[in-house]
Amino acid sequence: MSDFSKDKGRIIKAVVIGVLSAVVLTVFLTCLFSVMLNMMSGIPYEFIDYVMVATEGFSVLIGAYIACVIVKSKGLIIGALCGAISLLIVFAVGMSISKNSIGLLTVIRSVVMLLCGVIGGIMGVNRKEKVRIK
């Protein structure tokens, strides 16, 4: 087996782990924010949309970070890939639940998720290793 196919398998595994961690974190944070917003009163409906965009962006950032820590290279590509796949999952779930068309919020969500994926990937590749003192 060549080094390219080993590297490709490791990249695919890391992207799957990163996307799954982003989706799980999105679900957890969505539940947490829904409980918090339910306890508060007088929150405008438009505020909830932007809280969700921020939640999804943060989750993709963490997922891309995890994927790039595993691979230790190609942070820009892997981060963008994690962001794009997570965006497709969110978009598919959203379109299956709602019949609204693509609007400005969808464009904002796309930019935020892709940008956070790229930033998370760069952060994951550039992280410092732990220094161990003997």
Q: Answer yes or no: is pLDDT of 116 > 60.
A: yes
Q: Answer yes or no: is pLDDT of 67 > 70.
A: yes
Tell which wins on pLDDT, 119 or 40: 119
Token pair listed for 42: 């007088």
Question: Is residue 94 within 8 Å of 37, Cβ to Cβ?
Answer: no
Average pLDDT of the segment spanning 7-35: 91
**pTM to 2 decimals?**
0.86
102-111: long-range contacts at Cβ-Cβ below 8 A with a sequence spacing of 24 or more? Answer: 105/49, 105/53, 108/53, 109/53, 109/56
Task: Enter the DSSP assignment of 102.
Answer: P
Q: What are the residue boundaries of the structural domains of the chain, listed by start?
A: 3-125
Residue 27 and residue 16: Cα distance in Å, rounded?
17
